[in-house]
Amino acid sequence: MRNPISGVGNGSTEPHERTGLLGYLQGSDSPPPYEDERAWVKWPSHFVHKVYQTLASNYVNILLVFVPLGIIAGATGWSPTAVFILNFFAIIPLAALLSFATEEISVKLGQTLGGLMNATFGNAVELIVSIVALKNGEIRIVQSSMLGSILSNILLVLGCCFLAGGIKNHEQKFNDTVASTMSSMMAVASASLIIPATLYSTLKSGDSNVGTHDEILILSHGTAVILLILYVMYIFFQLKTHTELFDEVNQEEQGGDAEEEEHILSPWAAGVALVLVTILVAVCAEYLVDSIDSIVQSAHISKTFIGLVLLPIVGNAAEHVTAVVVSMKNKMDLAIGVAIGSSMQIALLVTPFLVILGWIIGQPMTLHFETFETVVFFVSVLVMNYLISDGKSNYLEGAMLLGMYIIIALAFYVYPDDAGHIGGQMLSGVANLFHH
C-alpha cells in the first residue's frame, strides 16, 4: 500500500530496482519495431512493448502463471485445496501489478490527489477479498483479515525493517514526530475495538440480553463514521495544514529519488490496467473465499488463522519487500510510512468502510472483535508505541517485534473459531467486579 507521506506502495521499488530486470533483458542496437513510422507496425509493437515492460518491472510477476490456473481450477470444480493454493499465489503478483498501475497514475496527479488515490487503492486486494467475504456472510474472515493486515504491518513488516536495517546500519534514526502522530492514531483505532468488546461483555453480564447485538451494531456504525472522519482529517492535517512536520520525510524521499524514474504507462493505459487487474483480483478472491470452508474442514485450520495470518501475506507481500529494502538503505522514515501508515489506513479507512458497507447490504459487520483478538491488537499497538517513541531503532527491537508476531501467529493457530464465548465470559467476570 502506498502511504501519502512516503510515496511508497505495494510492489513499489527504488529506480534501480524496478528497472533492473529490464536492464538484463534489453538487447540490440537496431531501432525497435515500436519506433517504426508505419502505424500498422508501430502500434501493435508499442502495445506489446508496454506489456513486456510492465511484466518485467517486478520479479514477482513470474507468479502470474497461477492466475489462469486458479481461475480454471475454480471454474471447473477442482478440489478446494487446489483452488485455494492456486488463487492464493495468483493474487500475490496481481497485488504487485495493482500497486504498479496505481503509482503510474498517481505520479501525474500531484502529491495531494496522488496520496489520496494511493490511500484508496493501496489496500485494494485486502478490500476486495473482504468485500467478497462480507457479501458471503463470512464476518469472521473479514474481521480476522483486517486485524491480520494491521498486525502483519506493525509487527512483521516493522520488525523486519528494524532487524535488516539494524544489522546493516547498527542504529537508525527516524522522524519521531511523524511516527508519534501515526502511533497515536493507532491507539485511537485500538480503543475503537476495546469499547465495543467491553460494552458487549457489560451488557451480557446484566440481567437481560435482549437487544445486545442491535446495540453493538448501533455503536459500531457510529464509531465507523467517526473513524472515517478522523482519517480524512489526518489526510488534511498531513497534506495541507501541518506539512512542515512531514518536510523531513519528503526531503529524504526526494533525495533518494534524485535520479528521475522513467514511468512506463500513460495515465490512460495505467487506468485500463488498474481496471483489468482489479477484475482479475475480484475473480480470484471469489474462488479463494469460496474454498475456505472446505479448507477449514479438511486441513483443520481455523478461519481466524486463515484470515489473520495467510490472507495478509497475499495483499502485503510486495509491500513487505519494499519496506525492508528501503530500511536497509537507511531510509527509515519511508519504511515507517509503509509499515505504520498501512496499518493506520486499514484501521481508520478500510475497516470502518466495511462496517458501513455491511450496514448498507444488510450484513451485521461490527467493530466487536473477540476478546482475545482485541487484547492482542491493544498489546501489539502498545509494544509498537514503546519501541518507536525514542525515534531510534536497532536489530534487537526488530527481533522483539518479530518474536511477538510469531507468538501471536502460534496462538491463533491453536485458537478455535468457537472460543469467543470463553473470552466473553472472562471479560464479563471482570465487568462484574467493577459493578460490585
* Closest C-alpha to 121, from 254, 11, 222: 11
* CA 409 – CA 156 distance, rounded (Å): 11
> pTM for this one?
0.73
DSSP assigned state of 348: I
Is residue 422 predicted with pLDDT exceeding 50?
Answer: no
* CA 47 – CA 269 distance, rounded (Å): 10
Q: What percent of the chain has pLDDT over 90?
A: 14
User: Which of 287-301, 381-395, 398-412 is least confident?
Assistant: 287-301
Is residue 109 predicted with pLDDT exceeding 90?
Answer: no
Highest mean pLDDT among 227-241, 292-306, 399-413: 399-413
Question: Would you say 6 and 338 are in contact if contact means Cβ atoms under 8 Å apart?
Answer: yes
- Read off the pLDDT of residues 177-230 as tens digits, 9 standing for 90 and up: 888 888 889 899 888 888 988 888 887 766 555 557 788 899 999 999 999 999
Number of CB atoms found within 10 A of residue 23's CB:
9
Question: Would you say 118 and 345 are in contact if contact means Cβ atoms under 8 Å apart?
Answer: no
Q: What percent of the chain has pLDDT over 70?
A: 73
H helices of 56-174, where?
A: 66-76, 80-106, 110-121, 124-135, 139-151, 158-169
Q: pLDDT band for position 69 (50/70/90)?
A: very high
Show the cell assigned to 268: 490512460
Give residue 281's pLDDT: 84
- Residue corresponding to grid cell 470452508: 293
- Residue 43, H or E segment: helix 39-55
Show the cell assigned to 180: 508519534
352-384 burial, b for 16+ CB within 10 Å, e for fewer? bbbbebbbeeebebbbbbbbbbbbbbbebbebb
* CA 323 – CA 118 distance, rounded (Å): 16
Side chain identity at residue 30, one-letter code: S
Question: Would you say 99 and 117 are in contact if contact means Cβ atoms under 8 Å apart?
Answer: no
Q: Mean per-residue pLDDT for 353-367?
A: 91
The angle, 0 to 180 degrees and rounded to 10, between the axes of the packed helices 139-151 and 124-135 is: 160
Is residue 44 predicted with pLDDT exceeding 50?
Answer: yes
